[in-house]
Amino acid sequence: MSKYIDRLKDMKIQNPDFDNLLEKIEKRTQKRNMLPRLALAGSLAAMLIVFGLYFYSDSQGQNESIMAYVMDQNYNNNQDPILDFVFEE
Amino acid sequence: MDFHEVYNNHQKLVWNLISRFVFTKEDREDLFQDVFIKIHKALPKFKGESKIETWIYRITINTGINYAKKQQRQRFLGDLLRKSGIVRDKEEDISQKVETGNSLLKPLESLNPKQRMIILLAEVQEMNLVEIAEHMKIPVGTVKSNLHRAKEILKKEVIIDE
């Protein structure tokens, strides 16, 4: 057993290309640093899309509410609210 | 402290420990990179309360044990999938991956990651029980019992090999 430990201690260790490994480490750390930025950019883009959709649907909603208002008017044979609205436009 | 300075001054210390801890060139290089990525990340927080070597040893030990545990889990899952026939038998047993010329490391395979790390720190790095306990953040008694168990297992393996 002690012989085995001695051989283990004396085992020749072949060094790798440390410069090449450093390059790989730097690449991986740069990727790691990019991740939070990408996440931030992604969330900003998502927020913009949400805001855009909100305002878009809001404006759609306005049109809908005008139409709803027009459509909700009591039907009058003498006055066609829809056609009046269209012709007024 | 500059990362490049830390890297240049301690690359051999890390390499020496992990080259006996994992058995293939790919694993060594992967683990080496993992260790230095952790060092790079944690370096701004290093306040110098302990020696830089102690701090680096601690990171290397923790990263190494986690790496080996992950490997064990993957191997277990691979074996399970192969046995159940879901995956074709590739015979990627770690014993076959141990580099030629390094049959010396083969007996270490039979130890679990913690035991393997403890025996390397005690016998190769020549640390005492208290130092190992400090580095691994475990009680001295645990170090002692693991070291004893590791020696018992190794004895059997070495006899079988001889």
Domain-ending residue, one of B45, B79, B113: B79
* Mean pLDDT, chain A, whole residue set: 76
Output the domain CATH number for residue B39. 1.10.1740.10
Of B19, B40, B123, the CB nearest to A13: B19
Give Cα B120 to chain centroid, integer Å: 9
- Interface confidence, given as ipTM, is 0.78
* Beta carbons of B12 and A7 less than 8 Å apart: no
Output the domain CATH number for residue B150. 1.10.10.10
Give the number of domains in chain B.
2
Asked whether residue B161 carries a pLDDT value surpassing 90, the answer given is no
B121 shares a domain with B63: no
* Beta carbons of B124 and A1 less than 8 Å apart: no
pLDDT of the residue at A74:
57
* Beta carbons of B104 and A7 less than 8 Å apart: yes
Contact residues for B76 (Cβ-Cβ < 8 A; gap 6+):
none
pLDDT tens, B11-21? 999 999 999 99
Residue B36 lies in a domain: yes
pLDDT of the residue at B100:
45
Domain extent at residue B121: 105-162
Residue B19 lies in a domain: yes
DSSP readout, A53-80?
Answer: HHHHHHHHHHHHHHHHHHHHSPP-SS--
**Would you state the structure tokens that stand for residue B116, as one six-digit string?**
């393997």
* Beta carbons of A15 and B12 less than 8 Å apart: yes
* Mean pLDDT, chain B, whole residue set: 87
What's the burial of B116, exposed, middle or buried (CB within 10 Å: 0-12/13-18/19+)? buried
Asked whether residue B98 carries a pLDDT value surpassing 80, the answer given is no
What is chain B's length? 162
Of B15, B37, B123, the CB nearest to A13: B15
Of B7, B15, B105, the CB nearest to A22: B7
Residue B143 lies in a domain: yes
* Beta carbons of A16 and B15 less than 8 Å apart: yes
B72 shares a domain with B21: yes
- Split at pLDDT 50, 70, 90, the class of A83 is low
Q: What is the mean pLDDT of residues A61-68?
A: 58
Rounded alpha-carbon distances, angstroms, from residue A30 to A27, A85, B7, B41: 5, 61, 16, 11
Strand, coil or helix: B162: coil
pLDDT tens, A46-56? 988 888 877 76
pLDDT > 70: percent of chain A: 62
Residue B90 lies in a domain: no
Q: What is the mean pLDDT of residues B77-98?
A: 67
B159 shares a domain with B113: yes
Residues B36 and B56: their CA atoms lie apart, in Å, by 9
The more confidently predicted of residues B4 and B80 is: B4
**Would you state the structure tokens that stand for residue B97, as one six-digit string?**
């991956």
Residue B89 lies in a domain: no
Residue B162 lies in a domain: yes
Asked whether residue A39 carries a pLDDT value surpassing 80, the answer given is yes
- Asked if B125 has any chain A CB less than 8 Å from its own CB, the reply is no
B71 shares a domain with B8: yes
Asked whether residue B27 carries a pLDDT value surpassing 80, the answer given is yes
Of A1, A8, A28, the CB nearest to B155: A1
B69 shares a domain with B22: yes
pLDDT of the residue at A79:
58
Asked whether residue B80 carries a pLDDT value surpassing 70, the answer given is yes
Asked whether residue A22 carries a pLDDT value surpassing 50, the answer given is yes
B112 shares a domain with B56: no
